[in-house]
Structure 1
Amino acid sequence: MPDYALAPSSVAALTGGLADSVFETAETRPSLPVLARRTDPSSPVWEKVTAAELRDEVSDLARGLVAAGISPGHRVAVMARTRYEWTVLSYALWAVGAEVVPIYPTSSRDQVEWILRDSECVAVVVEDEQGVMTVGSVCAGLPRLQHVWQLDAGALEQLVERGSVVPPTTVDSLRRIVLPDATAVIAYTSGTSGHARGCALSHRALASPCDTLLAGWGHTAAPPGEQPSVLAFLPFSHVYGLMIQGVCIRGGILMGHEPEFGEEALASALQTFRPTYFYAVPSVFEKLYKNFLRSFQEAGRDALFERAAETARDFAVAQERQRLGQGPGPGFDLRLQHALYERTVYRKLRAALGGRVVRATSGGSSLNRELSLFFEGIGIYVHDGYGLTETAGGITMQPLGREKSGTVGKALPGTTIRIADDGEILVQGPSVFQGYVNDEAATRAALRDGWLATGDIGHLDSDGYLTITGRKKDVIVTSGGKSVAPAPLEQRLRMHPLIHQAVVVGDNRPCVGALITLDPDYLAHWRAARALLGDTPEREAREESALREEIGRAVAAANSTVSRSESIRVFRILPEPFDVASGLLTPSMKLRRDAIVERYASEIDAMYAARTRTSPRLAANDPTADWDDSDDVFR
């Protein structure tokens, strides 16, 4: 029986390439604002670009690409932040049948060399002189590379001038021969271990989830009668960012670009652009929550925030039970409390996102259920979706009117999900990739009898909602044979405002342990709030003891959600966060677990050795019996 809350089972079949939507919108709604940009990053003014203006920019740049020798099937890398030129350039490349190869601008020299060589790019577009230097240092080993274009040096303007001799009809002719199953993007996986693999994604694959989401959920992206708007700040170098761009361009949603991912720049852009829909990853929602809490604590109103947050979650739970047919909805007292906090707290929190956001989507990894309930309770429902590079973005979404927090929703219409015997999630559908470039063995391993083996583990409930447990390769097996999925524990730990990152370890160890990094902003606030008196050595010792107790409570809270054999029994706080520059995070902010375990091997050894008891009393049926629940070690 079909779910009434999902989108139609089919959308209009794609007949050409991704660039067609730019030209079609310009023809049917030429004056519609589709992009917004700031000529000065510090300016609050956003200049709107109409559909007709975007078409002309794309066409003019496409003519310049033709003049430079870019032909159908050529691969061109784009190594830049999320900026206006990224969008114009990608659609110009698709208009002439070229393939886009996104590269994170923070990629190392070796990573850049590998991607350019493996994909056989004929050109690369970089942002600045640093990008030119990085590419220049590897050019000798890239005989197919013919062009290095620098955005900040006016490369696109020069291409447009060069293309003035090419007739516009040339671009139209090239665009019309682009087929839906032609490759549009070679998206390299983040590469948590070894070389990244290039996922070949067709125009159809990239358009399919966009069109399905627009058909089923597009009307919810803004209040009735208003044009939806989205601030794009996630990297277009990642498939999630590309999907956001595709949804906006294909759906006539006004899109602004914010290239800086920093907290201050993002906050400023949100206040001036004021989007109606918000896309982010879980870490952004976690940071927002912690910032809310900190601001109320600094004002001496932390008790008010805690009560308001609890009411928001209770209200959201009651709403969820009602829409799932499991309860009557919020009672009178709860509605009264919620209305009070709406006036005093919730609308102030929504103002941090510009004050106009009606809904949001979280992707990249699973969102904590309590966090999802909090945002729903303050008036912003956060759809937690699921997808991966090999599926060109989203393959699930929460059905409207039947949303269930803590899950990633149901399979999009046209997509099928099943769970293998070992818990691995398998996917079939129009957005599944064509294969890995230059790696037939890996392609055969991933595509099994028409099903994509995602490498993720999870389960479907009786109503078809999918819950993600973690990555198959990340499962920890202790020396006692207990299998533990680290992601839920790590997710729970990160909910504590002091904890920035957490990596659960324990392979071939007697119990589960954790490496923890602290949130520097909240730690500074926490230290200032305590303002302990006394001489320096004594004060520092008391502060360290208090910090140890606080993190111990966070560990205990995480442990309350799992069995004793799965619980964290030892932990260590590290002096600095994991980051991309150190090679411990992927550019999409995922943990490089193997690299972290290798980098901190001595700390992990010391963490376990410090609490090993010399007593011979061991329980034969419990290999962790010699470990106290409160064991912890600080660096």
Structure 2
Amino acid sequence: MREFTVPPMATAPQVGGLADAVFNNAADHPDQVVLGRRVDGHWQDVTALEFRDEVVAVAKGLLANGVRFGDRVAIMSRTRYEWTVFDFALWTIGAQPVPVYPTSSLDQVRWMLHDSGAVACVVEHEDHAMTIGAAVDELPQLSRLWQLDAGCVEELAAAGTHIGDEVIDRHRLAVTPDATATIIYTSGTTGRPKGCVLSHGNFMAEADNVVARWETVFANKPGEEPSTLLFLPLAHVFGRMVEVACVRHRIRLGHQPSMTAADLLPDLAVFRPTFVLAVPYVFEKVFQAARRKAEAGGKLGPFDKSVEIAVRYAEAVEAKAFGTGHGPSAALRMQHQIYDKLVFSKVREALGGRVRHAISGGSAMERRLGLFFSGAGVTIYEGYGLTETTAAATANPPEQTRFGTVGQPVPGTTVHIAEDGEIWLSGGQIFQGYLNNPRATSEVLGDGWLATGDIGALDEEGYLTITGRKKEILVTSGGKSVSPSGLEDRVRSHPLIAQCVAVGNNRPFIAALVTLDPDAVGHWLTMRGKPRLPDEELVHDPDLETEIRRAVVAANTLVSQAESIRTFRILAAQFSEERGLLTPSLKLKRKAIEKAFPEEIEALYRG
């Protein structure tokens, strides 16, 4: 199939902007709890009326400090409650927030603030303030700097007390759906980040259609308040879409600034969300932590058996949904029930105990992992999207989830497969173009289509499978074209492996660089009674090499011999965002990695 369309389920608003939802919620449901806020280590409820009042107070303070309709204000922070307050305060007065990743380098910050023409900046703490300070001489348009950890919310609220409500209303009512809501800079695996111009209407189309189509996810069961804990970066479009959807549809929203298991799992246990939205990395960590715990307790055999039962059960349910099977047998249902008490309930408890649905995006999820979670009682709807599509363009529907694909188009979206296999998209959530870059805009936008740069295929029922990126195709010296992402994802599914990057452009065969997961390796050494050696020595451990080789061999079964990984090298160093080797959304920066490890790559092809 070359093209598939799903009609919209939500009516596109003809007037208004994103901030209207805050005021409508306060007017219609003033006492409903719409957010959770951490205060002195405890969660505190925030009602619709309280949130509106705080948004208005900050909006007045921004006006009092010279921020005007159409101005751009950068926000450099981790995910936290105050970011959401600033987003909606800026949208209330028709200004445009510009998110900046808190890990951005000085050069990146300087470029984004210069390119966007930001007149002010909100930072989280003193380190961020110092980064802005180091760039300020080259940013003559930047006139204000506020620091969250220095009480800037209260400071702004106090500064705007003399401004009347009618001034705020006049600004808000001037905002239209086609007005620019935000400039989000692509994390960029190559080159300088480009500023994606997203309108209020883009976010409305995206959030409203997603909530309408995945109502069972967001509404949960009758009588239970829907809620989610947002731990995705708000600097990323996925996290931003979640924020907007929750406020527009009065879904209780909490914020957690860290995706590490040590920080995230305790908050999940206390906040107890009904659904989560995450990247595959989070689900991989939850699964691997559960498996390590079982092994440490001498119960690895039963755990691995439970995984098989969960996968088989989910496969049977999937087959029934698509009319190709009768569902789980009586014997399988009985086994599933036993392991639900022994294993699956503990996996759900790690996510807070109430989660039954999740949406995953940002990168590919292995089919088997999705099947396991579904069999364990948490269905993960994998989706696909870009900054340029205001997050999701496709996702798996609740009633027919096809694991291993990224689902069907979000309502109001069309997916088209071009002659060369490139994915083209159209719909109300497609961005307005790249800021100050008409040439780059014309390269991806034309005749109503967004050319994504991704390669994929549609099946007869409109389910999309991503097979790679046009710019990441490796061509060996023998002329064989290889899309590396599937191989890398399969290798990376091994619990000991953190990242894998395939190399082989203009080389005789495909090889790979592999990095290790420190927590998993520490557990592996403990279980085998091995001493913890320096990383430079550890990577030469013959037993460890054997484990990694098994992962590579398993991945090679998916491809032809010419496409397979012939050899690999375990690296002592990690690929990290701080080293410039990963994007903030954890995508590999291939050229940067090849530049950082030239000797290791050359060694793969010697002899």
Q: Which amino acid aligns with 2:423?
A: I
Q: Which amino acid aligns with 2:455?
A: I
- Are 1:157 and 2:154 an aligned pair? yes
Q: Deviations over 1:157-208 (max 9, x none)?
A: 1111110010011011100010100000100000211210000000000121
Match runs of 1:6-405 below 5 Å: 9-40=9-40, 43=41, 45-221=42-218, 222-405=220-403
- Are 1:552 and 2:549 an aligned pair? yes
- Are 1:474 and 2:472 an aligned pair? yes
- Preserved contact between residue 30 and residue 52 of structure 1 (Cα < 8 Å): yes
Aligned pair count? 600
Q: Which amino acid aligns with 1:581?
A: E
Q: TM-score scaled by structure 2?
A: 0.97
Give 1:542 shift.
12
CA RMSD of aligned residues (A): 1.7
Measured at CA, do residues 164 and 58 of structure 1 come closer, stay the same or move farther in structure 2, by a change above 3 Å? same
Q: Which is worse superposed, 216-225 or 586-595? A: 216-225
Q: Deviations over 1:87-137 (max 9, x none)?
A: 000000000000110000110100000000000000000011111111011
Measured at CA, do residues 543 and 447 of structure 1 come closer, stay the same or move farther in structure 2, by a change above 3 Å? closer
Give 1:260 shift.
2.3
Measured at CA, do residues 542 and 87 of structure 1 come closer, stay the same or move farther in structure 2, by a change above 3 Å? closer
Measured at CA, do residues 546 and 117 of structure 1 come closer, stay the same or move farther in structure 2, by a change above 3 Å? same
| Secondary structure of 2:333 counterpart | helix
2: distance between equivalents of 1:359 and 1:28? 28
| Secondary structure of 1:370 counterpart | helix
1: distance between equivalents of 2:588 and 2:126? 29
Give 1:594 shift.
0.7
Measured at CA, do residues 492 and 14 of structure 1 come closer, stay the same or move farther in structure 2, by a change above 3 Å? farther
Measured at CA, do residues 542 and 250 of structure 1 come closer, stay the same or move farther in structure 2, by a change above 3 Å? closer
1: distance between equivalents of 2:116 and 2:600? 39
Match of 1:531 among 529, 532, 553: 529
Q: What percent of counterpart residues are identical?
A: 50
1: distance between equivalents of 2:379 and 2:490? 20
2: distance between equivalents of 1:66 and 1:8? 37
2: distance between equivalents of 1:518 and 1:320? 33
1: distance between equivalents of 2:348 and 2:202? 34
- Preserved contact between residue 539 and residue 572 of structure 2 (Cα < 8 Å): no
Q: Deviations over 1:39-95 (max 9, x none)?
A: 12xx3x310000010001101111111111111110000001100100000000000
Q: Which amino acid aligns with 1:394?
A: A
2: distance between equivalents of 1:151 and 1:543? 46
Q: Deviations over 1:537-588 (max 9, x none)?
A: 9xx8998111111111110110111111111101000002111110101112
Q: Which amino acid aligns with 2:140?
A: P
Give 1:365 shift.
1.2
* Correspondence for 1:630: none
| Secondary structure of 1:507 counterpart | coil
Give 1:607 shift.
1.2
2: distance between equivalents of 1:352 and 1:544? 33
Measured at CA, do residues 431 and 8 of structure 1 come closer, stay the same or move farther in structure 2, by a change above 3 Å? closer
Bigger radius of gyration = 1
- Preserved contact between residue 11 and residue 215 of structure 1 (Cα < 8 Å): no
- Preserved contact between residue 20 and residue 172 of structure 2 (Cα < 8 Å): yes
Q: Which amino acid aligns with 1:281?
A: V
2: distance between equivalents of 1:365 and 1:14? 34
| Secondary structure of 1:38 counterpart | strand
Match of 1:587 among 584, 588, 592: 584
Match of 2:418 among 414, 417, 420: 420
| Secondary structure of 1:88 counterpart | helix
Measured at CA, do residues 556 and 99 of structure 1 come closer, stay the same or move farther in structure 2, by a change above 3 Å? same
Give 1:608 shift.
1.2
- Preserved contact between residue 6 and residue 409 of structure 2 (Cα < 8 Å): no
Larger relative contact order, structure 1 or 2 (CA cutoff 8 Å, min sep 6):
2
- Preserved contact between residue 7 and residue 215 of structure 1 (Cα < 8 Å): no
1: distance between equivalents of 2:449 and 2:100? 28
Q: Which amino acid aligns with 1:488?
A: G
1: distance between equivalents of 2:319 and 2:188? 40
Match of 1:456 among 454, 457, 464: 454
Q: Which amino acid aligns with 2:399?
A: G
2: distance between equivalents of 1:14 and 1:465? 31
Q: TM-score scaled by structure 1?
A: 0.92
Q: Which is worse superposed, 254-263 or 56-65? A: 254-263
Give 1:346 shift.
0.6
Measured at CA, do residues 519 and 485 of structure 1 come closer, stay the same or move farther in structure 2, by a change above 3 Å? same
Find runs of 4+ consecutive structure 1 residues off by over 4 angstroms: 5-8, 540-543
1: distance between equivalents of 2:468 and 2:192? 22
5+ long unaligned stretches in structure 2: none
